[in-house]
Amino acid sequence: MRNAALLGLDWGTSSLRAYLFDQDGKVLDERRSECGIMALPAPREQDGFPLALEQICGDWLKTNTSLPVLACGMVGSQQGWKEAAYFDCPADPKVLAQSLTEVLFGAGRKVHIVPGLIMRGDYPDVMRGEETQIVGAMGLASAASDHATIVLPGTHSKWARLDKGIISEFTTFMTGEVFAALSQNTILSRLITSAEGAQSVRDQAFQRGLEIAGKPESGGLLSAIFRTRTLGLTEQVPGFALADFLSGLLIGYEIHGVQEKFQKDAALYLIGDEKLVARYVKALAIKGFQSTVLKDATQFGLWRIACAAGLVP
Amino acid sequence: MRNAALLGLDWGTSSLRAYLFDQDGKVLDERRSECGIMALPAPREQDGFPLALEQICGDWLKTNTSLPVLACGMVGSQQGWKEAAYFDCPADPKVLAQSLTEVLFGAGRKVHIVPGLIMRGDYPDVMRGEETQIVGAMGLASAASDHATIVLPGTHSKWARLDKGIISEFTTFMTGEVFAALSQNTILSRLITSAEGAQSVRDQAFQRGLEIAGKPESGGLLSAIFRTRTLGLTEQVPGFALADFLSGLLIGYEIHGVQEKFQKDAALYLIGDEKLVARYVKALAIKGFQSTVLKDATQFGLWRIACAAGLVP
């Protein structure tokens, strides 16, 4: 890969993805390993990070001895290779790109790490990794840069608002993690089964959860989630569809929470795992919002930040 | 105890309480064992239930061979001694008392089991054991019978409305169980410490959580709970007070959910564990509600149901 211009790393808690870019930002090659920052091939004190990097793309680094390396994600956390201090939001991606943290490896080579974002104040919030996806989204959808909301569903869903090229604010929702905790570690787990069942019944249960969310008569989230049990007990929803009901309910409350906090008129862009994003597209449509799905936001974000940082010509 | 008139049993999942009443409803003696329905001295098929009863108060039953026995709680669930089918709410305690389920033990003796309550419809709800506490509360506070709200904080908090001697509706909030799941099984557990710290700081954190609850800018519960992490990360709340913050937040959302669902003008009566009830009294006061704490509601409820059922003269 003689014409390689950048090695981009998406280095999270449970996985590591490497992208090799050419000078036009095209991805020449892509690799994935399980060496997330919590599953390194050796302890961090024993060069776990450079070893993981060597394992996944030592050949690329050897062939291109001056190849710049840019990494985003939990690799920049306190538990990562080197802490990249949070960058304050509202954030201008161009300034963010001037605030990379450097860590040395091999014979004088550097990895540049993208900082996470922080919202300060009475309702502080943080993200790490998603900032790069958002910068990618701003390039993928030119309209998104001007005035839009980016939604990143996941364990911790993030909703970010963009205004005239600036990431103006964002909010985290623990939707995915709360779903896991409720469906595995509470009484709700008892009636939820993994049996197969009609997709139409599952879809109905998902929609029922969505529609209850935010209604005053539901008594709020802490009460509404108990319906996962009582709709099962009263046989209104079969066991195989109760997880869908709970999922719809929680995603519905996430959307309800955003509606109270953010303006509603912005265009919505979704980034993330295909199946989960499809669930959000459906939920948003039921709630009356149109949304557009963006792909490859992480890799494009790495490329854009590298350009703005001057790592590539 | 020659003058004993009733044996009352409060038989839950993890404990069994026995009350010996005289003919005026006074408690002559009281015992507690760990033999909840999930911790019987033998499997249910091998007489686990009568064995547990024999262990805790065999002497009382032997001395008083015609002593009537009334039980409430999970002993009447599907996993209990015998299922006592749910009684429909709105519920008149006098009619409820005519709907006891009988189970035989020993030489032709009976245990009478109080049914739980069910709310049917689009938002079904159930309780088992609390109905007896509510009937007790109606007797303890004469005003409560007319028009009031009874609050039973716990793993699954119950809020019940009383109108002219009828239990007219109730709602469950999974507050206690959600607190446990979030503080033990999610990322929030990482910053929460059990270190000792100033009570005033803990009180402030509790109040901060309470005040955020329900505010639009909090983004709703799924977002607000993430502040347990970010207020810790930004060192606004020390680790030893983060559990108090989360507790205040969840209790605040419970009260917020009730406010949306129920009328607000009713008198509030609290029943339950002393420490937890004190927390709710404080929370309700901060939210502008006066409340009265009632004691011994379970035993008084057992007595009142026994009287209405004709088990005692």
The confidence score (pLDDT) of residue B266 equals 64
* Eight-class DSSP state of A64: -
Q: Give the C-alpha separation, B111 to B36, whole Å.
A: 16
Which regions of chain A does DSSP assign to beta strands (E)?
Answer: 4-11, 16-22, 27-33, 69-72, 87-88, 101-105, 109-113, 117-119, 125-127, 147-152, 157-163, 166-173, 267-270, 291-293
Q: At A43, is the pLDDT very low, low, confident or very high (cuts 50, 70, 90)?
A: very high
The confidence score (pLDDT) of residue B143 equals 63
Within 13 Å and on the Cβ side, how many CA atoms surround A9? 34
CA B99 to each of CA A149, A215, B8, B92: distance values in angstroms, whole numbers, following the listed order? 56, 34, 17, 11
- Residues constituting chain A: 313
Best mutation target among B77, B119, B120, B174 (most A Cβ atoms within 10 Å) is: B174
Average pLDDT over residues A276-294: 94
The confidence score (pLDDT) of residue A24 equals 95
User: Over 70: is that where the pLDDT of A54 sits?
Assistant: yes
Token pair in block for residue A126: 């943080």
A126-173 pLDDT per residue, tens: 999 999 999 999 998 876 667 889 999 999 999 999 999 999 999 999
The confidence score (pLDDT) of residue A155 equals 94
The confidence score (pLDDT) of residue A145 equals 62
Q: At A2, is the pLDDT very low, low, confident or very high (cuts 50, 70, 90)?
A: low
The confidence score (pLDDT) of residue B144 equals 63
The confidence score (pLDDT) of residue A90 equals 97
Average pLDDT over residues A190-198: 92
Q: Is B80 left (phi over 0), alpha (psi -120 to 50) or beta?
A: beta
Determine whether the interchain pair B253/A216 forms a contact, defined as Cβ–Cβ distance below 8 Å: no
Q: At A264, is the pLDDT very low, low, confident or very high (cuts 50, 70, 90)?
A: low
A87-131 pLDDT per residue, tens: 999 999 999 999 999 999 988 899 999 999 999 999 999 999 999
The confidence score (pLDDT) of residue A195 equals 86
Map residue A148 onto helix, strand or coil: strand
B219 Cβ under 8 Å from any chain A Cβ:
yes
Map residue A59 onto helix, strand or coil: helix
B198-214 pLDDT per residue, tens: 999 999 999 999 999 99
The confidence score (pLDDT) of residue B186 equals 93
Specify the higher pLDDT residue, A222 or B290. A222
Q: Which chain A residues are within 8 Å of B172, Cβ to Cβ?
A: 223, 226, 230
Segment (H or E) for A200: helix A199-212
Kindly provide the b/e burial profile for residues A62-97, where b requires at least 16 CB atoms within 10 angstroms of the residue's own CB.
eebeebbbbbbbbbbbeebbbbbebbebebebeebb
A274 Cβ under 8 Å from any chain B Cβ:
no
Residue A270 · residue A282 · CB < 8 Å: no
Within 13 Å and on the Cβ side, how many CA atoms surround A5? 16
The confidence score (pLDDT) of residue B117 equals 98
All residues at 6 or more sequence positions from A94 whose CB lies less than 8 Å from its CB, including other chains: A308
Q: Which chain B residues are within 8 Å of A172, Cβ to Cβ?
A: 223, 226, 230
Q: Which residues of chain B have pLDDT under 50?
A: none
All residues at 6 or more sequence positions from A105 whose CB lies less than 8 Å from its CB, including other chains: A49, A50, A53, A111
Map residue B230 onto helix, strand or coil: helix
Q: Which of B156, B220, B236 sits opposite A253 (nearest CB)?
A: B220
Q: Which of A124, A223, A258 sits opposite B219 (nearest CB)?
A: A258
